[in-house]
């Protein structure tokens, strides 16, 4: 059974007529996606590469080959390592900027709904049936 994103609440409109109003399901969907994006943003900001060993267990790479096999300290200070570090930093920065823009866009969409007074909609409206219009 599909989950509904709103609950029923008796309310009165501007004309004094009693109208059944419900939470705007589009607003709730925006808020749910924004919450997930914000969690992803925090997780990415706090991410650090794992060490080569964890609790004495060797972390393995592709095909189960130990990551440290044949790698000396010189590998991590080579020009190629610097190039990879720069590429990884650029990718992480790009991902952080993209998620930040997503959160900003979702916040703008959320505010637009509140600013137009659409956080509560009539229960029998198309907006209340979204996305099942």
Number of neighbours of residue 76 by Cβ within 10 angstroms: 11
pLDDT tens sequence for the chain (133 residues): 233 444 444 445 555 667 899 999 999 999 999 999 999 999 988 877 655 544 555 555 555 555 555 556 666 778 888 898 889 889 989 999 999 999 999 999 999 999 999 999 999 999 999 998 7
Which H helix or E strand runs over 42?
A: helix 25-46
11 Cβ contact partners less than 8 Å away, ≥ 6 residues apart: 18, 19, 20, 21, 120
HSE on the CB side for 69, CA within 13 Å? 10
CB 44 within 8 A of CB 103: no
Collapsing DSSP states into helix, strand and coil, what is residue 8? Answer: strand
Is pTM beyond 0.75? Reply is no
């Amino acid at each position: 059974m599909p989950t509904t994103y709103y609950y029923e609440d008796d309310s009165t409109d501007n004309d004094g007529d009693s109208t059944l109003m419900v939470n705007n399901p589009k607003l709730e969907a925006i808020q749910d996606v924004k919450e997930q994006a914000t969690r992803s943003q925090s997780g990415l900001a706090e991410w650090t590469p794992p060490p080569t060993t964890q609790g004495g267990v060797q972390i393995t790479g592709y095909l189960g080959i130990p990551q440290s096999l044949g790698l000396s300290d010189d590998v991590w200070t080579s020009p190629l390592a610097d190039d990879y570090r720069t590429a990884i930093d650029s990718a992480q920065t790009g991902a952080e900027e993209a998620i930040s823009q997503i959160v900003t866009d979702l916040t703008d969409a959320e505010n637009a709904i509140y600013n137009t007074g659409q956080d509560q909609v009539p229960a029998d409206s198309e907006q209340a049936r979204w996305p099942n219009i």
